[in-house]
Amino acid sequence: MIFSKKIRTICLFTLFLFYPLTFFYSSTKDARRVKDIKNNVFANQELLNPIFNKLYNLEKSKKGKINIVHIGDSHIQADFFTNAIRSELQSKFGNGGYGFTFPYSLVKTNGTRNVRYSSNASWQSLRNVLPIADVGVGLSGIALYTSSNDFVLQLYTEEGYEFTNVKVIYPDKESHYKMSISADPLEVTGAAPTGSTSGTSIKYHKVKKGETLSSISRKYRVTVAQVKKANGMKSNTIRLNQSLKIPTKTTAKPVQVRSRETNLDTENLKFVNMLSKPYYSSYTSDSAINRITLVPDGKTAMYNLNGFVIENNEPGVVYHTIGVNGAKMTDYIKYPLFFKQLPILEPDLIILSFGTNESFGKMSDTEYIFQLNEFINNIKAYCKNATILVMTPPPSMFRKGRQNTFVADYSVALMGINYLPVWDLYSRMSGDSAIRPRGDYASMIARDKVHYTTGGYEAQGQLFISDFLNAYNNYKSKYDK
């Protein structure tokens, strides 16, 4: 009995002695890594020289525009993080216009406050995170569609984002829209009408030798999570000859409805002449405007929009943002139209911010890099001259405060590649310790321990712009001597 007590005492003493040392070692290791990343904020920084050269020429000549396209998930959709970057870049290099915008408010989801929308019609949406549909999910990552053939849609901007150039983006090669720049502000009366519906079909796949859940998902252009959900699976393990349910193409079923009454007589509006090309129509105004009005041009079963681009005639930076709540890289990859429409933005620099949703799917760092390469190959097929910069995901936690080690693994894997410039947001925020109690971002992370407050996102944006401009100034110093 005495011997047992001694053993227990020794065991407890050993546990309390070495547990702090283990924690100290881990924390010290993280601290060293943070110190290293602060000294080397970009991996492969020299690969940013093409965009730095363009910025240098813009700053010197005060001519032309530089288009930056930032693509990602919910961290990007809200536009807090990206707007902080946009504001600083446009303050230094000139405001070339707001850029790409999507009517998030019409489908009751979050988006920027700088561009507003109103409509008399009921608009339906389908995010790229859902099974493939025939409603034309394109550049926005979200399909926006209505069957109302008397809809009126109005876009208007806040002060400081007036524009002269407009692009209306749609999934068809021909336009079904007319645009007015002189219509009064839209006023809508009456109850909201109902819109169209959609359904999901199921296919069955028999597992063959050598197949994985990931390869099967890519074959049908759905996500691993969707296949697991359809089959009630808790792991990625599959067996030979197993029959899997595959959620596939959904079909939008138009329900013809009349839109609500408005104050506008659309029959007598003055419409401008737009130049139409496959997937978009454009118009340039002689003077700055802050409002456009879109109506149908002829009747069709479904009116589908992928977004708008608004710019001005001033030289400077145009910072486009594309984000979808819950999206992973595979969700964009399964819609080829996204990549076909990307050249409409004429990107000089494309920034990719993914990893949070992949981490919650317990994706390995190897698979993450594989999907990143596939995403980049799709971009390069249509935007060969664009520089691509990758950001690591910010720290987050799983339920019950469990550490999300996957995002840390992605950070290490990304900083280890040699063919892309990478900015390590995860380490710049001091990793997992940043969102622990008394961490620098503890008060800036939301209750779900995944998303951040407005101030948290803005702080992340300031981190990036500080590092980016420091790197640019170092590049510029070589030419200013």
- Cα distances (angstroms) measured from residue 48 to each of 77, 82, 175, 241, 315: 25, 19, 37, 48, 21
CA gyration radius, the chain: 25
Give the pLDDT confidence of 284-330 residue by residue, as tens digits. Answer: 999 999 999 999 999 999 999 999 999 999 999 999 999 999 999 99
Q: For residue 35, what pLDDT is reported?
A: 44
Sequence-distant (6+) residues with CB within 8 A of 65 are: 58, 96, 311, 315, 316, 317, 318
Confidence of residue 4 (pLDDT cuts 50, 70, 90): low
Please name which of 338, 275, 283, 331 lies closest in space to residue 306, comparing C-alpha atoms.
Answer: 338
Residue 376 has pLDDT above 90, yes or no: yes
Q: For residue 7, what pLDDT is reported?
A: 52
Please name which of 303, 309, 307, 306 lies closest in space to residue 177, comparing C-alpha atoms.
Answer: 303
pLDDT over 70 percentage in the chain: 87
Q: For residue 231, what pLDDT is reported?
A: 86
Rounded to an integer, what distance in angstroms lies between the CA atom of residue 52 and that of residue 56?
6
- Cα distances (angstroms) measured from residue 405 to each of 149, 159, 358, 395: 50, 43, 12, 9
Are 326 and 357 in contact by the 8 Å Cβ rule? The answer is: yes
- Whole-number average pLDDT of the chain: 88
Rounded to an integer, what distance in angstroms lies between the CA atom of residue 370 and that of residue 364?
10
Sequence-distant (6+) residues with CB within 8 A of 443 are: 453
Confidence of residue 331 (pLDDT cuts 50, 70, 90): very high
Residue 51 CB-half CA count within 13 A: 26
**What mean pLDDT comes out for the span 83-97?**
97
pTM for the full predicted model:
0.82
Task: Count other C-beta atoms under 10 Å from residue 327's C-beta.
Answer: 25
Residue 23 has pLDDT above 50, yes or no: no
Q: Is the dihedral of CA 93, 464, 333, 176 positive or negative?
A: negative
**What mean pLDDT comes out for the span 212-226?**
81
Q: For residue 247, what pLDDT is reported?
A: 83
Q: For residue 15, what pLDDT is reported?
A: 39
Confidence of residue 31 (pLDDT cuts 50, 70, 90): very low
Rounded to an integer, what distance in angstroms lies between the CA atom of residue 80 and that of residue 113?
10
pLDDT over 90 percentage in the chain: 72
Residue 252 has pLDDT above 70, yes or no: no
Indicate the SS3 state at residue 302: coil
Alpha helices in 319-453 (DSSP H): 329-333, 336-341, 356-360, 365-382, 405-415, 425-428
Confidence of residue 26 (pLDDT cuts 50, 70, 90): very low
Are 206 and 242 in contact by the 8 Å Cβ rule? The answer is: yes
Rounded to an integer, what distance in angstroms lies between the CA atom of residue 463 and that of residue 429?
8
Residue 13 has pLDDT above 60, yes or no: no
